[in-house]
Structure 1
Amino acid sequence: MSGPVMVVEKVGKSYVEYASELQRFARWFGIPVKPRHEHWVIRDVSFSVHQGESIGIIGQNGAGKSTLLKMITGTTKPSAGRVSVNGRVSALLELGLGFNGELTGRQNVVHAAGLMGLPQDQIEALMPQIEDFAEVGEYFDQAVRTYSSGMQMRVAFAVATAVRPDVLIVDEALSVGDTYFVHKCFKRIHEFRDAGTTLLIVSHDAVAIQALCDRAILLDGGKAVLDSDPYEVFDYYNALIAQRENSSVKTELSKDGKVATESGTGEAEIVDLQLLDEGGAPVEFVGVGHPVTLRARVRVHQTLERLVFGYMIRDRLGQALYGTNTHHTGQANEQLQAGSEVEFRVRFPANLGVGTYSFSVALTGAETHLQKNYQWRDLALVFTVANLDKPMFVGTAWIPPVIEVAASAAPARPEAVR
């Protein structure tokens, strides 16, 4: 592997408050002055990225994600450490950053592309392609102040990706687009990644991070607490959120080498979890479309006002395929005494494609495991689906179609002219 295209070494960013402006000026000239207050948004963050790697940055609001990206792109100077980036960088940070509301979309494209280092003749040559990709119609020649946030994102993304960059940085900009255009953007990002572009993306969308990224970095309190597989990082992130309620968090290796995460406050726990076939026998292999039952036996350790059981089916990449809980189905248990047990049986057809899948399960007192988290287990049960008796198909879902084929009669051939 070639050397890294990006190096972030012990980077930190602080915002300082001084007793007077004179003290601020004095510090600029190297005179040691003790500030009234100093707040570090980012501190001692280090990582490197190689060419063609895709890295996701995740964390709660205020964790320092946007500040980190601004230091990487050079729009903010680090207070400590250094950032080194090689090659052409294209970034979508704050929506409409650098756009002038009084200028038209076309004029802003010229300005933004110029700041990206593109010469005027290349900008003119690319303009039809940018306009076509943005799909804002006649608004392209109207003032940007008349644009919706989604239209601003369309133009910003179109110009930022008009030329394939060496490094593409995206900061939640795609969260405001309509579904059609977001799909269009992710298609282009996939194409860039496959062509060798290094990707750095900030998103709360676990599916996007897991689908696009080779690694993910979790920021918490301005520090990098985990740099690992996206699936593992999102599991730990969810557990970290739940830990705010004083629950425990632990990780362990599963049988297939993946990291399984468990968290919870322990008022209730799943003591037995099995996947059963149609006859009630435990199974690890399931036929496509065959009926199965997920059985969970739960023991209550402390008196509970409310208990909700939930589950999620994930594919081998950790992407969520289907999930629900007894809050949404209107079957939450009420007023449970310590020492009691509850058994949950979830019956469904395994309408899944061939492959390996897993269950994540949760016991909570509310709608999600992020509130009143009694127990949450990732990779709690792994099973394999095989095609035993269905026609050949591809994909992660068994959606049997009814295909009608109507052939029309061939047109009559004209008689040969004699």
Structure 2
Amino acid sequence: MGSIHVQQLGKAYKQYPNRWSRLAEWVLPFLGKRHRLKWVLSGIDFQINRGEAVGIIGVNGAGKSTLLKLITGTTQASTGAVHTSGRIAALLELGMGFHPDFTGRENVVMAGQLIGLAVAEIEALMPEIEAFAGIGDYIDQQVRVYSSGMQMRLAFSVATCVRPDILIVDEALAVGDVFFQQKCFARIDSFTKAGTTLLFVSHSTGTVLNICTRCIFIKQGALAFDGAPKDAIDLYQAELLSHLDHAPGQIRVNRGSAPERLDYEHAPALLGKTGSITTDAADCIAVRFVHADGSTAHSIVADHPARLQVDYRTRRRLDDPHVGFKIRNRFGVVLFETNSYCMREQLGAVDAGGALSVQFSFAMALAPDEYTITVGLGNGGYGEGSFREVLNYLHEVTTFIALPNQDAIVWSGQVNLAPTLTFTKP
């Protein structure tokens, strides 16, 4: 129980040039078809086993929500088939199934029946549903006066009042406050540990990394990647950056899994892991920690000063280059990232064939552990950290280990805030 098998699934909608064409096709079918098919999903094929937690990501309009509707049976497929086993609880649209003129309590009874519960079961579970939703006296008021967050609280509480075999969530938790989100994720975690299969759609890549063990990347209605969440997210980010770039056709995305180096004019150029971006504009040739004299630092002690150097070689003139870096832990979670544009620094134009070397100095405030470095080069910064051109974006080009600092305070967590303490006594 709790499995999903999708076979060559596709969904197309009819598009007519005008309303009269639709009428003519209905009334005079012998005149032939007047529509064309708009495919929003095509050839989707995957299997999810019991207890897997699978994320689905993709840009808006990629077909994610349509895929979930096909799996739950609220939309019929044009091609292919979906086979599921077990009871499904789905949060596809906020408050779906709630009637605005009925109270929250009345809607709980109706929504509970929609997921297969008897009225007596719903009445027995009502105290727990009320307590988890935490909306107080609003439970006896009309849903039309609810905020979006209150609707989500009640909808999630009803959908998960009994552990389902399959739980499907489509971005619904995005509207909740942080405390309720934590409570929801705790319940989801307990469900998956007990064997519930999770299908989770979200634009929050950090959440996908935290709760999913597998991730499916949907691109333009097709399955572009199915595998490790970190690799799927890196490919998704490359897709977003390509959309923002003024010349996306010049961008090359690395769809492999291993970091590489290419020999270009006798100087090795770095290539990152899955989802990395390269172009003909510039090459990254070195990423390393250095001492004050420029020599390579082979060890970094936690809480001590660190200096990260990133070296590029340009192949054409860059009028407004910017360099950035990102640090991720062993689970792929981003702990810190910035770039020269976000630091309000101007590096100045660099001519073709020139060299660009940037050093970032900071205190190594991370807990002792192993981390990865991702670096990037853009041209023409604007907004809050976007770039006219994405020239180089290399995931996990190097790793480093933060060594324990024997002189530091005893602490736990990810970042040492290095607190000082003052106190008074009567």
Same fold, judged at TM 0.5 (above): yes
Q: Matches of 2:295 and 2:101 in 1, distance apart?
A: 69
Equivalent residue, structure 2, for 1:136: 135
**Matching residue's letter, 2:338:** T
Who is 1:188 aligned against?
187
Post-superposition Cα deviations, 1:319-372, rounded to whole Å, max 9, x if no partner, equal 110111111111032333223322211111211123211111111122546751
Alpha carbons of structure 1 residues 144 and 276: separation in structure 2 relative to 1, 3 Å: same
Most deviating of 313-322 and 35-44 = 35-44
| Structure 1 equivalent of residue 400 of structure 2 | 383
Q: In 2, are the aligned partners of 1:238 and 1:370 still within 8 Å (CA)?
A: no
Match of 2:366 in 1: 352
Aligned to 1:414: none
Identify if the C-alpha distance between structure 1 residues 40 and 141 changes in structure 2 by more than 3 Å, giving closer, same or farther. Answer: same
Contiguous gaps of at least 5 residues in structure 2? 261-271
The 8 Å contact of residues 56 and 201 in structure 1, kept in 2 or not, is answered as yes
Q: Is structure 2 residue 312 aligned with structure 1 residue 314?
A: no
Say yes or no: does 1:339 pair with 2:338.
Answer: no
Give the structure 2 partner of residue 91 of structure 1. 90
Give the distance between the partners of 1:226 and 1:348, measured in 2 at CA: 36
Range that drifts further, 188-197 or 361-370: 361-370
Cα 1:259–1:303 shift into 2, 3 Å? closer
User: SS where residue 139 of structure 2 aligns?
Assistant: helix
Contact 1:14-1:79 at 8 Å conserved across structures = yes
1:316 touches 1:356 (CA, 8 Å); kept in 2?
Answer: yes
SS at match of 2:276: strand
**How many pairs were matched up?**
402
The corresponding residue for 1:415 is none
Q: 2:415 aligns with which of 369, 382, 397?
A: 397
1:211-233 deviation per Cα after TM superposition (whole angstroms, max 9, x unaligned): 11111111111100110101001
What is the deviation of 1:125?
A: 1.2
Query: Match of 1:37?
Result: 36
- For the residues of structure 2 that align with 1:100 and 1:50, how far apart are their CA atoms? 34
Deviation at 1:304, TM superposition (A): 2.1
In 2, Cα distance between equivalents of 1:296 and 1:205:
28
Equivalent pair of 2:376/2:392 in contact (CA under 8 Å): yes
Aligned in 2, Cα 1:119/1:403: closer, same or farther, shift over 3 Å?
A: farther
Partners of 2:223 and 2:299 in 1: how far apart? 39
**Which runs of 5 or more structure 1 residues have no equivalent in the other structure?**
409-418
Q: Which amino acid aligns with 1:359?
A: I
1:199 and 2:206 matched: no
CA drift at 1:406: 10
Q: Once superposed, what is the RMSD of the aligned Cα atoms? A: 2.7
Structure 2: distance between partners of 1:196 and 1:217: 20
Q: Using a 3 Å threshold, how does the CA distance of structure 1 residues 25 and 40 change in structure 2: closer, same or farther?
A: farther
1:249 matched to 2:253? The reply is yes
Calculate percent identity across the aligned residue pairs.
37
- Displacement of 1:286 in angstroms is 2.4
CA distance in 2, matches of 1:214, 1:198: 11
**2:4 maps to which residue?**
6
> Cα 1:255–1:17, aligned 2, differ >3 Å: closer, same or farther?
closer
Of 142-151 and 69-78, the range deviating more from structure 2: 142-151
| 1:62 to 1:275, Cα distance in 2 relative to 1, 3 A | same
- State the 4+ residue runs in structure 1 displaced beyond 6 angstroms: 403-408
Equivalence map 1:201-350=2 (5 Å): 201-244=200-243, 245-246=248-249, 247-254=251-258, 259-277=273-291, 280-350=294-364
Q: Is the 8 A contact 1:311 1:360 kept in 2?
A: yes
Aligned to 2:147: 148
Does 2:181 correspond to 1:167?
A: no
Q: Give SS of 2:86's match.
A: coil
Measured in 2, the distance between the counterparts of 1:210 and 1:398 equals: 23
3-state secondary structure, aligned to 1:107: helix
Contact 1:16 1:35 in 2 (8 A): no
- Change in 2 beyond 3 A, CA 1:273/1:38: same
Asked if 1 retains the 8 angstrom alpha-carbon contact of 2:54 and 2:200, the reply is yes
CA contact (8 A) 1:260 1:379 kept: no
The answer on whether the counterparts of 1:310 and 1:323 sit within 8 Å (CA) in structure 2 is yes
What is the distance in 1 between the residues matched to 2:65 and 2:7? 17
Instruction: Go from structure 1 to structure 2 and tell me whether the alpha carbon gap of 1:303 and 1:404 turns closer, same or farther (over 3 Å shift).
Output: closer
Quote the Cα distance in structure 2 between the aligned partners of 1:71 and 1:64: 11
User: Which SS does the other structure have where 2:401 is aligned?
Assistant: strand
Say whether residues 1:119 and 2:118 are aligned partners: yes
- Equivalents in 2 of 1:332, 1:125: separation in Å? 64
Q: CA shift at 1:392, angstroms? A: 5.0
CA–CA distance in structure 2, aligned partners of residues 329 and 108 of structure 1: 50
Deviation of 1:21 after TM superposition, in Å, equals 4.8
Letter of the structure 1 residue corresponding to residue 111 of structure 2: A
Q: Which residue is 2:13 aligned to?
A: 15
Name the TM-score, length of structure 2 as normaliser.
0.87
Query: How far apart, CA to CA, are the structure 2 residues paired with 1:12 and 1:202?
Result: 18
Equivalent residue number for residue 48 of structure 2:
49
Task: State how far apart, in whole Å, the 2-side matches of 1:299 and 1:255 are.
Answer: 19
Residues 114-171 of structure 1: per-residue CA shift (max 9 Å, x gap): 1000111110111111111111122211111111111111111111111111111000
**Per-residue displacement from partner, 1:62-112 (whole Å, max 9, x unpaired)?**
100000000111111111111111111111111111111111111111111
